[in-house]
Amino acid sequence: MANQNQVIGLVASECNNFVDHFFASNCPAFAELGSPDVAKIEQKAEWFSLFQRFEAEAELTMQNALMLWGLVQAKTFEEQFLDEAMRSQALDDFLSLTEYPAFVSRMHRELQHRHEDTNLGESEWLRGVSTSSRPETHWNDAPTSQRLAELDQRLAAVEAERNALLMERRALVGRHVQADTSQTLKQQIQLQRYREEVGLD
């Protein structure tokens, strides 16, 4: 059985892989982004639309990753999971991206990184980014690890399709995906850190 630290690492890895793929895939739309500071540049409507799409896909990625490990029910989280998330900070970068300024700053960093690799074309650049956000779960024996890898890759493909369908359906009925789970988790981690800092825990 995986311990909470391993689970946090796997959840964070899946979320961060999603982020890497999203930013690499959508970087060309931000070609004119000259600064990571949203207050210093003129914003394009397309950028905020991509942020909203990111926020929705990130929320569904978080929900799927937490559901995979049985860590959330109705936006309440296992206490051990929260404790480990508070200590590890493995999810902090991912959760910070639910704020538009952090999203723009991360996209600017992606642009800078892409400009450093000028010898790579668009298709080569995307090829270097994993198409699956689900990390491998290593187990004690090889056959179980192999089967887990097969199941995880299939689930990741099904979840990606489900996420796209959910986003389209919710857009059609005017019920856009909100970053509720991500925001709640972020707030609960911050509350745990505050309690520990002031000695209330």
The pLDDT tens digits of the residues spanning 165-194 come to 878 877 786 767 777 888 888 888 998 888
Give the best-scoring range by mean pLDDT among 23-32, 68-77, 132-141, 153-162.
23-32
Query: Which has more confidence, 40 or 68?
Result: 40
Whether residue 123 is predicted with pLDDT greater than 60 in this model: the reply is no
Q: What is the pTM of this model?
A: 0.68
Radius of gyration of the chain (CA): 18
Which of 17, 29, 25 has the alpha carbon at shortest distance from 159? Answer: 17
Written as one string, the DSSP assignment of 29-79 is GGTT---S-GGGS---HHHHHHHHHHHHHHHHHHHHHHHHTT-EETTEE-H
Per-domain residue ranges for the chain? 4-198
For residue 120 the two structure tokens come to: 């790579």
Whether residue 28 is predicted with pLDDT greater than 70 in this model: the reply is yes
Q: 27-41, 45-59, 121-135: which range is least confident on average?
A: 121-135
The alpha-helical segments, DSSP class H, found in the chain are 4-26, 45-68, 79-88, 92-96, 100-116, 122-127, 142-172, 180-198
Q: Give the pLDDT mean for 49-59.
A: 92
pLDDT at residue 20 in the model: 92
Contact in structure between 8 and 81 (CB atoms under 8 Å): yes
pLDDT at residue 1 in the model: 55
Query: Under DSSP, is residue 49 helix (H, G, I), strand (E, B) or coil?
Result: helix
